[in-house]
Amino acid sequence: MMILIFSCLKSFAEDNFEMYKKDDLVSNIDGLIDEYSSIKTVKINTYSQVVQNPFNYRGESDLSGEFGLVLYKNDLIIFGKVRDNIPLYQTREKPINPKWWKITYGADGVCFLLSKSEKKEDINKIILNFESQGLNPVIVLDKFPDEKSETSSGKLVVKKTQDGYTFEARIPIQELSDGLFNRDFYIEIIVYDMDGDETTYKVMALKSRVEADLEKPSKWLKMIVKK
């Protein structure tokens, strides 16, 4: 059994991930991420990583997280641990808003952006819609340039913790761009947070420092595929 693991070998401030091979990991999609304890993760946990409404940020206990990716057989698995003082807040079934809204995602959520080139049209957007309190979470996929949302046939499980939540998701590779994992590619991770009404909204990102960078793969981290 062969599992390919994406691991951050340096801090988030560096420019590259690396992908290496590992064949001794068993992954269960249950929202519990103990099986990934040996894998190094990337962190979103500083004020400089707040890309929208930094005046709402109150520190790591308010919002921060660690995230990782695993390519297993024909699936992409993404997982994370998020600290959030008011976790899994969501009052709307469909929190995704049009771009022209100041609040593009009106709930707590996580989004992974992957692109095989620096072109905007190659971006794959994986949105983890946790639903209210994580009871019926779904994975939503967007592809540029049409950005037509589709629900993934994969699986997402969320578990509340004492200081936030953990999540684990499986997405069939065939639902993403062809050849995405055949070469080096770019990655960005976004965390959305609401603690009440719209005035509490904030957004953090792994590498981007302004909102415009979220559509520019050249500003993200680069995933180095080790042959």
Beta strands 63-72 and 42-44: pairing type? antiparallel
Contact call for residues 160 and 130 (beta carbons, < 8 A): no
- Indicate the SS3 state at residue 73: coil
At residue 218, the pLDDT reads: 94
Helix (H, G, I), strand (E, B) or coil at 74: coil
| Residue 90 reports pLDDT greater than 60 | yes
Please check whether residue 188 is in contact with residue 162, taking contact to mean a CB–CB distance below 8 angstroms: no
> Which phi and psi angles does 36 have, rounded to 5°?
-105, 15
Phi-psi category of residue 111: left, alpha or beta, with phi > 0 → left and psi -120 to 50 → alpha: beta
Q: Where are the domains of the chain?
A: 3-225
CB 126 within 8 A of CB 141: yes
**Average pLDDT score over residue span 65-87:** 91
Core vs surface per residue 48-58: b (16+ CB within 10 A) or e: ebbbbbeebbe
Burial class (CB in 10 A: 0-12, 13-18, 19+), 40: middle
Is residue 100's pLDDT more than 80?
no
Beta bridge partner(s), residue 160: 165
Whole-number average pLDDT of the chain: 85
Contact yes or no for 61/85 (Cβ under 8 A): yes
Question: pLDDT per residue over 189-227, tens digit each?
Answer: 999 999 999 899 999 999 999 989 999 999 999 987 665
d(CA 126, CA 139): 7
Residue 1: pLDDT band by 50, 70, 90 thresholds? very low
Q: Which segment, 8-12, 69-73, 103-107, 111-115, is predicted with the most confidence on average? A: 111-115
Tell me, what's the pLDDT at 15?
Answer: 65
- For residue 130, the model assigns a pLDDT of 93
Looking at residue 114, what is its pLDDT?
Answer: 95
Residue 60's pLDDT is: 97
Which pLDDT does position 106 carry in this prediction? 86
- Report yes or no: 109 and 129 within 8 Å, Cβ to Cβ: yes
CB 120 within 8 A of CB 144: yes
What integer pLDDT is reported at residue 20 of this predicted model? 52
Q: Domain 3-225, what architecture?
A: Sandwich (2.60)
- Helix or strand or coil: residue 167? strand
Q: What is the pLDDT of residue 182?
A: 83
